[in-house]
Structure 1
């Protein structure tokens, strides 16, 4: 269970937390533990955070470099990035807000939650700054490379009902993708396969066996050598649409993972976004019983 944070939002960033589970006699004090646990953060940076009162225990008591390591405690701190974070020059659009949900049109390249080199440029932190909604949480996911409709909950009391809807896949999600033309195939059709983790931890692959993934595929229009496709995933495997299209021999335009990983450069190529868009989401609201429909304003 997630503990209650004794620190407030800081510039849109919620505090991170860590349960202390190692033996107490391994560490003489909290500074020694933190510098060993987070080798990417300098000792001086931890001293400065502690001096500002930004490292506390579950009771809100500020920790100092000399504070003892206590097994079973929970510490709270703000994640920070050493050096400046490169701005992502694309802006999200809020499509809808009510007392339970915030629906957003996510741009390409923006990660949904803080990860790796992204913190303030993550969609979650951007939206917390923009709306002031401290309890904002995404209730489904989109890859950083994918644009389109994303739904957040900002009411903890009703969050479970909406999360269950996505877990049980009782909603209709429609994507659009730009890829090569699949000749000699009648549309629409269904692609099913067994997807498993690939050798690289961030990839998936297909293998022989009982299918565990399913996508309905239709052709919207032909654009020269390319086709604009409508994709309706029945299951929600990681990278499912990208894997399925690559397996059919028509990888999505500008896909740097499938069918082959393109070595990453030092910066994103903003002129070549992945041509995959979460076009719309439709569902019956679990609280009101109303039919809800949200559609992206973006185009491929």
Structure 2
């Protein structure tokens, strides 16, 4: 595609197209349902009308190579267009790079990702979409929500080397006069407990640098979101049993409890 062709295409994209493209870039992978909930449900009178409009738009953007879909679908081939998982296509990448300021930089790797990566990334996207929907409903005010790599936090180690903490999500919300900061980790119950403990220790190490507190005046709560109650108890027990970890820093909840926790209707042990 020539620069002239790209400019023509950009002129024909709607504001919603640009917002949709930015969100696919922001969250790396979004399902058709995620995109429908973010961009179409709020403006259509029925779910059927929303779904049809969403699929028409995604088909148009796919034909223009603004977006691409993974070969693997949610629910298999029988799921049809609703089962597609979307990522930024080569033309979409060029559009994002042409914005002022550019939204992305560097070339992409277009290899099909592993099943674990897809499932984990979609689980993160699902929490983000739920949070945005809760904000629209007035349950909380979403001030900032960042996925990787925007969520990453850098600091210097005691040896003077750069170290990077990589939360799955960073959320800043508000209720009344208070801001609430969260680092969110999505656990698929596929990691061994020593891996979970090491990640908790990384949060303690980052907290000790004081870098986040200097900028924001507080340190976020770390929230592990897990599949079920047994995993909740396993992670809580591991945190409590590990020297150097402050149990007050870490919360653990199931996916179903997530919104109640971030809205403030649920506390550990309640």
Aligning the two structures, in what range does the TM-score lie when normalised by the shorter sequence? under 0.3
More helix as a share of residues: 2
Please tell me whether Structure 1 or Structure 2 has the larger radius of gyration of its CA atoms: 1
TM-score (norm 1): 0.25
Q: If the length of structure 2 is used for normalisation, what is the TM-score?
A: 0.27
Which is richer in strand?
1
